[in-house]
Amino acid sequence: SGNLLQISVKEQGLFHKKDSANQGYLRKIYLLDTTTAERACKAIEDAQSVRHQQKLVKQSSLKLLVP
């Protein structure tokens, strides 16, 4: 909203406690103007989409390799 970019960040640790309620946090970043915030948001969404597509391709290729 405006020049404020709010990002939800998940914990990336190797070992998670099953009863841990704190799985992530919200990071707030104030940018110079709304155009910069919109471009950053779009870039993050594009990167997430590419990462998701790579994950799907990897899963399907693993299925083909396992008899």
Backbone angles phi, psi at 23, to 5 degrees: -90, -5
Going from the C-alpha of 52 to that of each of 2, 13, 17, 49, 55, the distances in angstroms are 28, 20, 25, 5, 5
Query: Which is more confidently placed, 55 or 61?
Result: 55
pLDDT of residue 29 exceeding 80, the answer is yes
% pLDDT > 90, the chain: 16
CA 67 remoteness from chain centre: 32
Question: Which band of pLDDT confidence, cut at 50, 70 and 90, is reported for residue 7?
Answer: confident
Q: pTM of the full predicted structure?
A: 0.63
